[in-house]
Chains A and B, each alone.
Chain A
Amino acid sequence: MSEAIISIQNVTKRFGSVVAVDDVSFDIRPNEFFALLGPSGCGKTTLLRMISGLEIPSDGTILIDGMDTDGVPPNRRPVNMVFQSYAVFPHMTVLDNVGYGLKVVGTPKPEIEQRAREALEMVQLAELAERMPDQLSGGQRQRVALARALVKRPKVLLLDEPLSALDAKLREQMRLELAKLQESVGITFIIVTHDQDEALSMADRIAVMDGGRVSQIATPEELYESPKTRFVADFIGKVNLLDGEASRGRGNAVTVAVDGIGAFNVEDAEGVEGQVSLAIRPEKLKLSAKKPTGKDVKVQGKVVDLAYYGNASHVFLETTSGISLTANVQNDTRDFDDTLAVGDTTWVSWRATDALLLGG
């Protein structure tokens, strides 16, 4: 257990008859950038608030650095939080906001000032120390909230949807900065987010939550390329899900029969049988005018719709047998427009190993 900075053991939280967090157990390692990812209402924020002490678990134990937090109020926990609304105190200057956490525990004045200014330096707000919060932009207010939490030198920093209120450009910039900040202060960051891009780009490990339970905990790459459940595959990125029937193939391979596409082998899936889902990421689909040769799975389809995203386009296809597929095409030339149009017939192919077998 000493390996974990935070250990969540069989934690359940009920609000009346609603179970927000349902028997969750996992460990968060020291100096990790950990993300709790899930759709709204999956219990991720409740879990974060239980770590901070703002909610009390109905059942189970949370250990922070080996200390049982049962009965420990939020003001006595070695964790600090950056709130979704930033919760910057409107009647205090930036400096007073940052120094607040030191003032209330009786830190001597010169030390407060010095540490608060250092913290502001860290978030690049040093020159705005005397401003009032209503003279700051959203991004600056967030930096104040960050500095205010970091000045306490917590063992763990909790961030509740920290980027959701920023505009797209700033959000991207803050992602990089948060990741850099985490590296430089060398403490554990736990971030709650519903934005998969945010989690994938910043976190070392991600816990995907669904309906109060943890679906999978893994690195971003693992989550994207080897999701364990249909929910994770569907939630992280875009995915084509095909329903099929699995039966034993040669060796440790499994033969999957998908209506309208045919049967093909999937390696390393020993023991899987019955109803399964086959997940293929859109960028793994290749489109070609001529029928591709080779061992790839191939199927003919018609372009139903196109969605243009600038760098890439989503091509929505319908196979002759009526199955909907989405392919992601990189717009790596400027005359992409001429190559595909709604109504065109095209061949879709993918390598059999790029399809992932999901049980259930």
Chain B
Amino acid sequence: MAELTTTAPHAVRSAPRRRRWFRRNDIGPLEYSRKIWVQLFVGATFLMLYAPIITLVAYSFNDSRRNVVWKGFTFKYYIKAWNNDGLFEAFMNSITIAFMSTVISTILGAMVALLLWRFRFPGKAAYEGFMALPIVIPEICMGVAMLVFFARIGWPSGMPWPLNLSAITIAHIAFSFPFVAVVVRARMSGFNRELEEASKDLGASEWQTFWNVVFPFMKPGIVAGALLAFTLSLDDFVITFFTSGPDTVTFPVKVYSMVRFSVTPEVNAASTLLIVITVIATLFAMKFQAPDKGSAH
């Protein structure tokens, strides 16, 4: 072996080296982030996604009745939006509905996910399909169905706040709990059943095992599902439109009716506030959503 290395001449060593230096800047087949067309495409996508939002936020500070030309910076429309009783009430309605709907649909969805993950029962596949139906049914159909349903059973209207929001809340729960269930179910498929068995083997009861071992694993899925339910409820227009009455206007419905007359910076200001709330909720959720630790083995 020693002889082989000593007889190798210098020329043999330097040739491939130079070649490698020369080729160092070539783009590998999977290095998409270094390809110009990919960079352009990504840039264009971000522009399309965020330019409207940035515009909306920017014009909420525009000192002009019309949303066309920039006339200077002001907070005036935030104050105006705050003092607009109709808009404020709609905003509070939306938040209340979203909160109630999120809590209930998260619990319901998590329970459905557990049921589907844990048990085998006749008609399980059919149940799983039907449960996820609200995800695929067109919203307009859901809306009409809800309208007919509440009218048919004579759901009381004109109750004091917040009971007057019950119909909308129920409708929101109906379409958002499947989303929670699907997210949590996906999370649970990575659960190592031996963890559960280990817990029982170590002396824990079914209940202790659930809260100490299964639930901590579910939590990121539950947080993600809850966030989804919250945003779905907060910005739902179609189904809400069909289930809301004159005294139960939500934020999206109110904005729609305002825009029909004119788009004022007031709407921009209120929308910006909504975006901020959603972003804060997301950040909050991401903080709670612990990094995935040793999920599946």
Contacts and interface: CB of A to CB of B under 8 A. Distances in A.
Interface of A: 52-54, 73-76, 79-81, 83-85, 87-91, 100-101, 104-105, 132-134, 145, 148-149, 152
Contact of B200 (A74, A84, A132, A152): A74
A100 B213 CA distance: 10
A271 to B, nearest CB: 48
Given A75-B202, A75-B204, A87-B192, A100 B212 contact: yes
Interface in B172-217: 192, 194-195, 197-205, 208, 212-213, 216-217
Contact of B194 (A83, A100, A104): A83
26 contacts: A52-B201, A53-B201, A73-B200, A74-B197, A75-B201, A75-B204, A83-B198, A85-B194, A85-B297, A87-B192, A89-B212, A89-B213, A91-B216, A91-B217, A91-B293, A100-B202, A100-B204, A100-B212, A101-B202, A101-B203, A104-B204, A105-B203, A133-B294, A134-B294, A149-B202, A152-B203
Contact of A90 (B199, B205, B293): B293
The dominant DSSP class at the B interface is: helix
Given A83-B197, A100-B212, A104-B212, A90 B294 contact: yes
Nearest to B294: A90
A134 B203 CA distance: 24
Given A85-B192, A91-B217, 5 more contacts: A81-B201, A100-B212, A101-B204, A132-B293, A149-B201
Contacts, number: 76
Interface of B: 192, 194-195, 197-205, 208, 212-213, 216-217, 290, 293-295, 297
B73 to A, nearest CB: 48
Contacts of B201: 52-54, 74-75, 79-81, 149
Nearest to A105: B203
Nearest to B213: A89
A80 B204 CA distance: 12
Nearest to A80: B201
Of all A-B residue pairs in the complex, the 6 with the closest CB atoms, nearest first, are A101-B202, A87-B198, A90-B294, A87-B194, A104-B204, A85-B297
Given A85-B297, A134-B294, A75 B205 contact: yes
